[in-house]
Amino acid sequence: MKLAMMRSILGLLLSLAMLAVPGTWAESMDWGPAPGTVVQVDAPDQSGQSRTVADLSGTRGLLLFLNRSADW
């Protein structure tokens, strides 16, 4: 068979296989809490004092950004 035809057939088979799998890869991943979820945080600050979300929130709320390390 010609290489182009083999690629076409392989592409078709992969497409059909993806349709047979329920959901997508991204949907099956656990990406953490949903937006708007209330979290309870009680962690020490740089001086060792325990801080909560209520301690850190101002009149306009608190934006808490968590970044997963790339060094797993």
- What is the pLDDT averaged over residues 9-31? 70
Return the pLDDT at 5: 81
pTM as predicted = 0.37
What is the Cα Rg of the chain in Å? 23
At 27-72, the pLDDT tens digits run 666 667 777 887 787 889 899 999 888 888 899 988 878 776 666 5
In whole angstroms, how far apart are CA 53 and each of 16, 17, 44, 70, 71? 48, 46, 12, 26, 27
Burial track 8-19 (b if 16+ CB lie within 10 A, e otherwise): eeeeeeeeeeee
